[in-house]
Amino acid sequence: MSTLKLLHVGCGPQNKAGTTPFFQSDDWQEIRFDIDASVNPDIQGTLTDMSAVESGSVDAVYSSHNIEHLYPHEVPYALAEILRVLKDDGIFVVTCPDLQSVCKLVAEDKLLEPAYISPAGPIAPIDILYGHRPPMARGNLYMAHRCGFTQKVLMNTLAGAGFKTVVAASRPSAFDLWAVGSKSERPVPEVEALLRAQLK
């Protein structure tokens, strides 16, 4: 079996071990892609301009907490780039904050109270909405959030961009959304199985 290519966009300092169990087998060859040269990506670039990546060259694109860093008008350009680099049977796996669950805390006037404790310290709703404050205070404004999604909006956005089959799930306890979009038409149960494989 030939090696499958995984484009890990917005990888930051992470490598394949920081993705999901689905991508951690030896079947997947990771290509790290990031805007920030300091994290030593294989390819430096932005989600809206992935011209350094050949069209139809990767089997999967994995994006963890990147899409919310785009301005709303940039999202369609980024998704068009992701579709372009995927092979015809490729998939896009994306996770991002779930504004619906975060906003429940905001409505309870808990904007600055820790929602959970991460390896980087306490995370409050304000960090989930607008970006993690400590790195931004140190000058890393790549961390700023400029848009956001609910499950319905994320699914509709992927479908509107041209993904043929889209499945999504929210995890309110983790304040995040997960979605899998396939470039070609696939049976919904097959894509649901791919989504469940990300969440193991």
Give, for 92, the enclosing helix (H) or strand (E): strand 86-97
Q: Residue 117: inside a domain, yes or no?
A: no
Residues 34-54 as b/e (b if ≥16 CB within 10 A, e otherwise) read: bbeeeeebeeebbbbebeebe
d(C-alpha 134, C-alpha 61), whole Å: 28
Domains held by the chain: number: 1
Question: Is 125 a member of any domain?
Answer: no
Give dist(CA 108, CA 182) in Å, integer: 37
CB-based contacts of 119, cutoff 8 Å, min separation 6? none
The mean pLDDT values, 10 residues at a time, for the chain of 200 residues are 90 92 94 93 96 97 96 97 98 98 98 94 96 94 94 98 98 96 97 95
Distance CA 135, CA 93 (A): 25
Q: How are beta strands 86-97 and 176-182 bridged, if at all?
A: antiparallel
Which residue, chain included where needed, has tokens 């860093």?
Answer: 69
> Which structural domain range is residue 60 located in?
4-98+149-198
Q: Would 181 be classed as within a structural domain?
A: yes
**Which residues does residue 174 pair with via DSSP β-bridges, in sequence order?**
none
**Domain contains 166:** yes
> Quick one: pLDDT at residue 142?
85
Residue 133 falls within a domain, yes or no? Answer: no
Tally Cβ neighbours within 10 Å of residue 102.
Answer: 23
Residue 59 in domain: yes
**C-alpha to C-alpha distances, 157 to 5, 134, 151, nearest whole angstrom:** 25, 30, 10
The three state secondary structure string of 25-43 is CCCEEEEEEECCHHHCCCE
Residue 89 falls inside a structural domain: yes
Task: Supply the CATH number for residue 60's domain.
Answer: 3.40.50.150
Q: Give which of 164, 48, 23, 21 is closest to 33, Cα–Cα.
A: 48
**Nearest Cα to Cα of residue 167 among 116, 91, 102, 105:** 91
User: Does residue 55 belong to any structural domain of this protein?
Assistant: yes
pLDDT at 120: 86
